[in-house]
Amino acid sequence: MYLFFAAHQNRVSDMVFSLESEWVVSTGHDKSVSWMCTQSGSMLGRHYFTAWASCLQYDQETQHAFVGDHSGQITLLKLERQTYSTITTLKGHEGSVAALWWDPVQRLLFSGASDHSVIMWDIGGRKGRTLLLQGHHERVQALRYLQLTRQLVSCSADGGIAVWNMDTQREEAPQWLDSDSCQKCEQPFFWNIKQMWDTKTLGLRQHHCRKCGKAVCGKCSSKRSTFPIMGFEFPVRVCDACFETIKEEDRTPLATFHEGKHNIAHMDMDPSRGLMVTCGSDRIVKIWDMTQVVGCSLATGFSPR
């Protein structure tokens, strides 16, 4: 017996089957999420977004759906039979959300996007707490959280695999501040016509210190540094004052990086066997030995035909 679900009018981007509720929840490029009954095949509900719905996670116990879209937003919905309610919208990415992972025990949501970043959203704990993780050079397309070891594995389109230590004290990256002049030397930025005229000086380009969030000019932010406690595993711009406060031990990495050597579009893991599988648009599937504390040594690989 087969059931055909006419759930979308365009490409289906993600799908979850819930055995407990007997639902199929799916997202599509028709800018919608839908949920259908697997017993009757009937449509139970649908919600439309302003952009393509690209990825999906579903909490079986609470019937909450997390939907990422191409505008960079994540919408949290409470699904019911024949109805639903919008709980909140999470905004933090500057590019389309490509991957989501929900940990129902610690109530943590992880998202990866085309802006090369990963964000951890603390849904059930500290209100509004988010952690930014930057360690990829390309679009983040797959995520998995290992609850036992408290490690996050993220994979990107260029084959990069990052293993993040989440069992450590981390700090939130500051919000970028707005200013018409450098908050260090007080020189005007190029749009501050009045101050430029009054001081007879040329306007400067605005930058931001990743450690304090202040708006600064290039001269006052000439240094670069890693700062893993805020998720910056690669050197980023910091103001000269903040650079002096960063000690050598503050630069100790909190993530390890590995090369998958193929475009990783999807990834899954079997922690009980210590294996990870990746596949990509190059039609290659690789199986990785993860037993050495997510050590990423290749066990075998094959290209299906």
Same domain, 147 and 267: yes
Is the residue at 138 inside a domain? yes
Same domain, 167 and 214: no
In whole angstroms, give the CA distance from residue 123 to residue 136: 24
Is the residue at 187 inside a domain? no
Hunting for tokens 């932010």 — which residue is that? 221
Contact between residue 257 and residue 156 where contact means Cβ atoms under 8 Å apart: no
Is the residue at 182 inside a domain? no
Is the residue at 234 inside a domain? yes
pLDDT of residue 4: 65
Is the residue at 257 inside a domain? yes
Is the residue at 4 inside a domain? no
Residue-by-residue pLDDT tens, the chain, 305 positions: 555 667 788 899 999 999 888 899 999 999 999 999 988 888 899 999 999 999 999 999 999 999 999 999 999 999 998 899 999 999 999 999 999 999 999 999 999 999 999 999 998 765 667 999 999 999 999 999 998 889 999 999 999 999 999 999 899 999 899 999 999 998 889 887 888 888 888 888 899 999 999 999 999 999 999 999 999 999 999 999 999 999 999 999 999 998 888 899 999 998 888 889 999 888 889 988 876 445 543 334 434 43
Check which CATH number belongs to the domain holding 141 and give it. 2.130.10.10
Print the domain residue range for 283. 12-172+252-289
Is the residue at 177 inside a domain? no
Domain tally, the chain: 2
Same domain, 80 and 166: yes
In whole angstroms, give the CA distance from residue 149 to residue 63: 27
Check which CATH number belongs to the domain holding 226 and give it. 3.30.40.10
Same domain, 39 and 98: yes
Same domain, 95 and 208: no
Same domain, 84 and 200: no
Answering whether pTM is above 0.75, one says yes
Looking from the CA of 92 toward its CB, the CA atoms found within 13 Å total 26
pLDDT of residue 302: 38
